[in-house]
Structure 1
C-alpha cells in the first residue's frame, strides 16, 4: 500500500548550499554524493531504545475548577491562599527530593501525575553523572550537525558548517494569517521587507524575550518558504549548543523532525520512551522533567500526525499514549510544561498550531542584500575577483537578485556563475531564471560525463543518451507529481515513469543537487527534488521535450498533434491564469523560456528540434498581451510580465517607463495592461515605495485594480476619490490580510464605503499588525460603524496611532462606542480626528471620561466643526489637565454644526 504523498504546503528535502541541510538520521549532513563512489545501499536503522508497551492506563488530566487555586495539570500550584508550591529548585549543588503524588486528592482535585524526584543538576538518576550523559548527547549531535556537504565533494571531505554558515535574516512578529500564494511571491515580498525597520533576531537568540516582553518564551514557531534556511538554522543552533557557544543554560536539546516522527504514527510512546528511542544515553535519566529541555520539531508542514487541539489531556511523562496525543499535550503545555519548544513550518501549515500556544512567531526571510554578498564572498573566499564578478552580475539582473533571497538559489547561482565567470572574457551569462536552471542542469550532468564520456568532452553542450533518458524520465516524474501537487515521491511513482529504483540510486550521484533520495526508519526510500523550483523546471522541460519529439500537448491531450508550439503555450497560460494561488506561475515561466532559441543552444539535444519556435514565441507574446487586456487577477497579470521577460520582450515595460519619465500626466488614460506594466515596474524596483497615490493615475476601475498589488510593497497609500467599490476593495483587503504587507498608512477618504465597506475593512485589519494610520474621512459612515472601528483600537495584533474620521455623521452614539475602546489601557491611539462628525455635549462628556480613564496615549483631538457647548468644552478642558492631551482643536463650533451632511461644514461659507 503506497503511503500518502506530501503536498505543496510541505517542505521538500533540504537543498545544497551553505545554509541548508537535510535531516539525515546519522552522520554529517550530506548534500551531494561523489559520482566516483558506489551508490549507497539502503541503511537499515538499528532499533534503539526499549520497545514501548502496547497497553496503557488511560491518563486523564484534572479539570482545575474553581477550588484549585491555580492547580494545573502538571501539578504546579500558586503559593497563595494557603496553597502548596510543588516547584522546588536545587541550589548550591544540594539535593532536593520533591514529593511524588499519585492518585491522591488535593482540594477535591484528583491528581494522577508524577513530579520530579531529582533536581540536582550535577547528577543523574542511575549512578551516571549528568555531565557524562550531556557530553554523550552533545557528541551525537555534533557528529550529525557539524559538517555539511556542498555540491558533490569527495566523500569524507565535508565543509565545516561554522566556516561557511551565513547568518540569515530572521524577524520576530505575530500573524495568524496563512498566505496561500506561490512561494515565489514570498521571495519577492522579502526583497522589499528586508529594507524596512523590523525586529530582527539571531538564530542563537530565538528564545530571548523581546524588549519589554516580561513573559518568558516557551514556544517559538518559525515559518519560512522552501529553501529559505529553516533546517540549517536549526542545525546551527544545535551545533552552537553542543559546542558550548550559546544557550548553555539548556540541559538537553532534542531535535525530532516530523519527517521521522511520521513513521511512528501508529505507535504509542511515553515522553521518556520517545526520547530514549532517539537518544539512547538518556536511558540513565529517571525523570526528564527535572531539567531544562528544548524539543525541536522541524517541518510541521510534513507532519502526518493528526494534531487535534481537542485531544485527550495527558500529563504523565512515563506512561504511553499515541504519538499525536503526546505531541499535542507537549505543545499545549499539559505535559512537561516548562519544556521549550521550537517548531518550524512552511507558511501554509502554520495554522495547524493554535496561536494561543505560541509565545513568539518568527519568520526566516533568507538573505538580505549584505548577506547575499557575504554568501558569495565566503563561497569564493580564495578568489575575490570572481566573487565580485558574480555579485555584480546578479545585482544587474533584478529577477535573479530577488531570487537570491533564497539560500538555495544563491547556491545555484554560485554553481553556474562560478563556472561561467571564472574567465574575464566569459561567455554570455544567464540573465533569466530559465537560463540559470538550464545551465545548472548542463553543469551537473557534465560533472559525471567528464569522466565517463569522451564524446561529451569534445562537445561542451552534448550529453550522453543515457543521461538524456534519465533527465526526461525525471522530468516526467516532476510533471506528473506537479499536477498532483506532490513533492515527496515513492518507488511506485518512479516505476510509473520507467525509472528503476536501483538505477535511480545509481544516477542520484549525477543528480545529487537536483534529485535526492532519503532513507528513513521504515527502510522505505523516499525521493524528492532538492527544491520545488527545480521540480517545476524539469516538469517544463519534459512538457517541451514531449511536444518537440511527439507533437503531444501534455497539458491538453485533446489538441491535435499537428498543432504548433504556440498551442502548447496557450494551454500553459490558461492553466496558470486559472490557478488562484499561482500554483503554475513558475512552471509557465520556465516553459516559455525553454522555447527561446538562445536557451535551446545550451542543451540542443534536449530543447531543440523545431524550426517554427521563433514564430510560435512571437505569437505567444501577442497572446499574452491580449490576455493582459482582459481581466486576469492582478497577481497573475504580474506573472505574465515575468513571462514576457523570459521571452525577452520588454516593450510594454519600456512604454510605461517612458510614461513615468514624462511625469505621469493625468490627461493620459492608462489601459488595464498598461496598469499591469506599471505595477510590474514598481514591484521590480530596488527600493521600497514610500508613497503610492492611486488617484494620481488616470484609469478605469479595472486598470486601478491591476495597480493594487503595489500596496503590499509601499508604506503609505492614498486612495482618495477612487470610487472604492467592492470590486476594488477586495484586493485592498487581501493586502491588509497579508502577513507580508509593509503598509503603515492607509487613507481611504472620499470613498462611499458605508457600513458594509467599513465592516469588511475592520475584519481585514484585525489580521494586520503593521497599519498605524487609517484615514476614513467623508466615507459616508454612521454611528453604527463605530462599533467595528472601536474593536480595532483594542485589538492585540493592531496598534493604530491615528484615526481620521472627519466629515462622517457619527453623532454622539458613534463617539460613545469609540470611547468604550479609548478608555481601555490597551488602546494606544495618539491622534483622533472627529472634525464635522456632529459631536455635541454628550459626546464630549464621553470623550472626557475616556481621557480620564486612559490618560497616557491620546495627544491630539480634533473636534472642529462640531457643537460641544459650554459644558462640553469645560469637561474636555478639565480632562486635558489630567491627561497627555496636548492639542485640542475646537474652532468653528456652534449649533449650526449639528446638521447632517455637507451643510454643517459649508454654513459659514454660505453666509
Structure 2
C-alpha cells in the first residue's frame, strides 16, 4: 500500500471525534456489517489509539483498507470523509500473490481466522442444553487443574476409578500449568516442542480447555506468536474415512472458519512450511497450530508402522488416514505444532517417539468444585445446601472432580431443593442418576405425553446397552440402525432429551452422513445401559445380558426364567473379568437399580416393582466372598462401591470400629477387612500426602490390598 494512502487514512481518523472513533472501532468488530471482510477482534481494538487503529486496518485489510474505511464511514454518517478517497483505487478483491507465489503478510489471514474463531468459541453451554442457554465461555469457565504427565499405560481400570485415585490437589512433585502454557516445556528452558498429547477421562474438561485456548488466541490474550490455528475433531474426521483430500481442501472441509482464506493461499502457506527443511516451530516463517481433539473417538485406521515418507506432497490428494499419521509423525509440516487430546485408554495409539510433552487434565480440585457451584448458584442458601450435601456424600464428592458431573449434580439437586419433591437428597450415584432421568421425563412428558417420553427413553437405553458392549460413545447412522433406532427419529430423541442425547451440529445440515449422536457423558450411557437390563427383566422377563453370551450357554439356560440373583452374579463376574474395568460403573448402576427405592422412582418406566431384598442379600454375600478371594485391590475398591449402592456398609463399619478403638496396630485383619481399610483411607477427607504404613500391622496380603493408598500418596513410611 502506498504511503500516501496510509497518510490519508490517518488524516481521516484524526478528523473523527473521540466518540466517533469509538463507534468507528465498534463497526470494525461487526462481521455482519463488514459483510465480505473479516472483523477485527475486540481485544485488538479496545485500547487502540488512532495510529494503532490505522495499523490494525492495514494489517487486516491490506489493499482493501480504503474500501473497508469507506464502508464504516458511511455507517457513521461521515460521507464528507468518504469523498477524500474518491481518487484512490481500492485494489483487487482478493489478496494478490507475488510472482513467487509467496502469500501476502500472514497477519491478514491471522486476523481473518481469529475473527471467525472468536465467533465460534466465544459462547458455550453446560451439558448440551438448547442454544438459547448459551453463555459467554469466560462466564462459565472454571480453571481446571492441569499438570505435566508421563507416559500413559494402556488403561487397566475404569476412568471413575482413576478420578477416585487422583490427588485432591497439586502434589509436592507435580507441576501445574495454565491453558496458555500448554506448549511450554516443563524444564522451563527454551526446548523445542512440536507435539503435545493431553489426556483426561470423559467429561473432565479437555474440549472446554481446547475452546478456552483457542478463544484466548482469537481474542489476542495469549499465544499471539501462532499465526494460524486449525481446530479439528475426530468426530468430523470419522465421516471422511477412506476419502482423499489435499490438505488445504481438508482444512476447508472441516473448518468452515477458514472459508475466507482461499485454498490456493492455504496451499502456498503449507508448501512453504513443508519445503523449507525447518523442523523448529520457533524458526518457522509461518507458525501453524493443528488441534486434533478426541483421539479416543477416532474410527480411523492410523498406522504408524509404515516407512517414513518425508517427501510427501502437501498439495496432492491423499487419504485422510495418511494425512493425519504423516502430520503426527512429523513427515508433514514438521515445524507446525500439534495438540492432541484423548481419554487415557486411547493415548497409547500415538507412539511416544512422536510426542514431546504429555499433559493431563485432572478436572476440579476441591476449591474449584466449590467455585463452580458458587458461580452456578448466586442464591447463598441454595448454594450452601448443595455444597454441604455433596461434601457429605463421598461418592458424589469424588465424582465432582469431573466438570460434567458437577453439571449433572447441580441440575438434579437444584430441582429437588427448589421443588422439595422428596425429603431426602440422593447420596449414591444410582440415586442421583435416577433423579436425573426422572427430571428429564418430567420436563418432557407434559409436551410430548408420558407414553412417547417412555418410548424415547427405552429406545435410548437399548442403544446405550448395545453400544457400550462395543465400546462406542459416538454413534452414526449404521450404529443407530443396528440398535433398532429409526434414523429419522434420532433427531426427535436429541430434541426431546437435550440433556441426555445430542445430535452434533454440522454446517452441512442437509446430508444425513454428517449426522453424529452421543450421550452427554459416558456415565449417562452406562446408567441407561444398566437400566435397559433391569427394565428387560422386570417388563419382559428377559435377560439381555445372556443374549450377549448365548453361544456359551445351553439352550435350556437361554430360555429359562432368569433369577435376579443369577443376573447380578453374572454382571459381577463379567465386570471382574474385564481387563480394563470398563463395566465397573455399569455394575454399580445395575446393582443400585435393583434397590426397590430406585425402582419406585422409575415407576413410569417399569411396569411393576419387584421384591429384590432376598436377591440383594444374596449378592451382598457373593460380593464379600469375591472381595475375600480377589487379589486385585483395584477391583476390590469397586466392589465396595457396589456394596455402597446396595446400602450395605457392614465391612466398612467393622474397620471403623477398629480404627476408633486403636486396635489396628495389633489385630490381624482378614483380606476383606484390609480391602475395607483401603476403601476407608481412600475415601478420607484427610490430607493424603503422607501415608504411614507403620500404623498398621500389615501382612503381605494386607500390603497388597493397601497398594491403592500407597499410589495415592506422595510419601509413604
Q: In 1, distance between residues paired with 2:198 and 2:590?
A: 33
1:550 aligns with 2:540: yes
> Which residue in 2 is equivalent to 1:789?
none
Does the 8 A contact of 2:245 with 2:319 survive in 1?
yes
Q: Shift of the alpha carbon at 1:275?
A: 3.4
> Which residue in 2 is equivalent to 1:262?
238
1:673 aligns with 2:654: no
Q: Shift of the alpha carbon at 1:688?
A: 4.3
Secondary structure of 2:503's match?
strand
Q: In 2, distance between residues paired with 1:502 and 1:387?
A: 41
Secondary structure of 2:545's match?
coil
1:212 aligns with 2:201: no
Does the 8 A contact of 2:171 with 2:714 survive in 1?
no
> Which residue in 1 is equivalent to 2:639?
640
> Which residue in 2 is equivalent to 1:534?
524
Deviations along 1:164-205, one digit per CA (max 9) or x if unpaired, are 111111101322533332111111122446455521111122
Secondary structure of 1:509's match?
helix
Secondary structure of 2:188's match?
coil
Which of 178, 186, 190 is equivalent to 2:162? 186
1:369 aligns with 2:366: yes
Q: In 2, distance between residues paired with 1:321 and 1:312?
A: 15
Does the 8 A contact of 1:123 with 1:130 survive in 2?
no
> Which residue in 1 is equivalent to 2:332?
335
> Which residue in 1 is equivalent to 2:408?
412
Secondary structure of 2:604's match?
helix
Which of 271, 275, 282 is equivalent to 2:261? 282
> Which residue in 2 is equivalent to 1:523?
512
Q: In 1, distance between residues paired with 2:127 and 2:577?
A: 37
Deviations along 1:590-634, one digit per CA (max 9) or x if unpaired, are 111111122222222335724422222222222222222323522
Q: In 1, distance between residues paired with 2:599 and 2:187?
A: 55
Q: In 1, distance between residues paired with 2:469 and 2:439?
A: 27
Deviations along 1:148-168, one digit per CA (max 9) or x if unpaired, are 233676644521111111111
Map 1:656-695; keep pairs closer than 5 Å: 656-692=655-691
Does the 8 A contact of 2:464 with 2:526 survive in 1?
yes
Q: In 1, distance between residues paired with 2:188 and 2:320?
A: 37
Q: In 1, distance between residues paired with 2:593 and 2:438?
A: 14
Q: In 2, distance between residues paired with 1:228 and 1:593?
A: 24
> Cα–Cα, structure 1 residues 648 and 121, in superposed 2: closer, same or farther, change >3 Å?
farther
> Cα–Cα, structure 1 residues 372 and 140, in superposed 2: closer, same or farther, change >3 Å?
same
Q: In 2, distance between residues paired with 1:254 and 1:674?
A: 53
Q: In 2, distance between residues paired with 1:262 and 1:544?
A: 33
> Which residue in 2 is equivalent to 1:623?
622
Does the 8 A contact of 2:603 with 2:609 survive in 1?
no
Q: In 2, distance between residues paired with 1:474 and 1:697?
A: 48
Does the 8 A contact of 1:692 with 1:717 survive in 2?
yes
Map 1:132-147; keep pairs closer than 5 Å: 132-147=108-123
Q: In 2, distance between residues paired with 1:670 and 1:693?
A: 18
> Which residue in 1 is equivalent to 2:391?
395
Instruction: Please list every run of 5 or more consecutive structure 2 residues that lacks an aligned counterpart in the other structure.
Output: 1-58, 60-95, 274-284, 548-556
> Which residue in 2 is equivalent to 1:486?
472
Q: Shift of the alpha carbon at 1:398?
A: 1.2
Secondary structure of 2:157's match?
coil
Q: Shift of the alpha carbon at 1:700?
A: 5.3
Does the 8 A contact of 1:192 with 1:687 survive in 2?
no
Q: Shift of the alpha carbon at 1:683?
A: 1.3
Question: Larger deviation: 257-266 or 343-352?
Answer: 257-266
Deviations along 1:457-503, one digit per CA (max 9) or x if unpaired, are xxxxxxx1221122122112211222232223333443444422222
Does the 8 A contact of 1:191 with 1:402 survive in 2?
no
TM-score by length of 1: 0.61
> Cα–Cα, structure 1 residues 154 and 352, in superposed 2: closer, same or farther, change >3 Å?
closer
Secondary structure of 2:544's match?
coil
> Which residue in 1 is equivalent to 2:601?
602
Deviations along 1:438-466, one digit per CA (max 9) or x if unpaired, are 1111112221223344xxxxxxxxxx122
Secondary structure of 1:645's match?
helix
Map 1:298-337; keep pairs closer than 5 Å: 298-303=293-298, 304-315=300-311, 316-337=313-334
Secondary structure of 1:171's match?
strand
Deviations along 1:65-119, one digit per CA (max 9) or x if unpaired, are xxxxxxxxxxxxxxxxxxxxxxxxxxxx9xxxxxxxxxxxxxxxxxxxxxxxxxx
Greater helix fraction, Structure 1 or Structure 2: 2
Deviations along 1:281-330, one digit per CA (max 9) or x if unpaired, are 23235324331111111122233142315344134433443333333333
Q: In 1, distance between residues paired with 2:686 and 2:99?
A: 57
> Which residue in 2 is equivalent to 1:203?
179
Does the 8 A contact of 1:124 with 1:130 survive in 2?
no
> Cα–Cα, structure 1 residues 325 and 490, in superposed 2: closer, same or farther, change >3 Å?
closer
Does the 8 A contact of 2:541 with 2:562 survive in 1?
yes
Q: In 1, distance between residues paired with 2:161 and 2:102?
A: 54
Does the 8 A contact of 2:627 with 2:636 survive in 1?
yes
Deviations along 1:721-767, one digit per CA (max 9) or x if unpaired, are xxxxxxxxxxxxxxxxxxxxxxxxxxxxxxxxxxxxxxxxxxxxxxx
Map 1:415-454; keep pairs closer than 5 Å: 415-422=411-418, 427-453=423-449
Q: In 1, distance between residues paired with 2:103 and 2:331?
A: 30
Secondary structure of 1:228's match?
coil
Does the 8 A contact of 2:197 with 2:341 survive in 1?
yes
Q: Which has the larger radius of gyration?
A: 1
Does the 8 A contact of 1:478 with 1:538 survive in 2?
yes
> Cα–Cα, structure 1 residues 642 and 318, in superposed 2: closer, same or farther, change >3 Å?
same
> Cα–Cα, structure 1 residues 312 and 491, in superposed 2: closer, same or farther, change >3 Å?
same
Q: In 1, distance between residues paired with 2:226 and 2:208?
A: 20
Does the 8 A contact of 2:599 with 2:609 survive in 1?
no
Q: In 2, distance between residues paired with 1:585 and 1:127?
A: 54
> Cα–Cα, structure 1 residues 176 and 401, in superposed 2: closer, same or farther, change >3 Å?
closer
Q: In 1, distance between residues paired with 2:100 and 2:358?
A: 34
Which of 369, 377, 380 is equivalent to 2:377? 380
Does the 8 A contact of 1:666 with 1:697 survive in 2?
yes
Q: Tell which has more relative contact order, 1 or 2 (C-alpha 8 A, sep 6+).
A: 2
Q: Shift of the alpha carbon at 1:276?
A: 4.5
TM-score by length of 2: 0.76
Does the 8 A contact of 2:129 with 2:498 survive in 1?
no
Q: Shift of the alpha carbon at 1:677?
A: 0.7
Question: Larger deviation: 519-528 or 412-421?
Answer: 519-528
Does the 8 A contact of 2:127 with 2:404 survive in 1?
no
1:358 aligns with 2:355: yes
1:164 aligns with 2:150: no
Question: Larger deviation: 420-429 or 392-401?
Answer: 420-429
1:250 aligns with 2:226: yes
Does the 8 A contact of 2:114 with 2:219 survive in 1?
yes
Q: In 1, distance between residues paired with 2:667 and 2:673?
A: 11
Equivalent residue pairs, number: 589
Q: In 2, distance between residues paired with 1:243 and 1:646?
A: 47
Map 1:660-739; keep pairs closer than 5 Å: 660-692=659-691, 697-698=696-697, 701-718=700-717
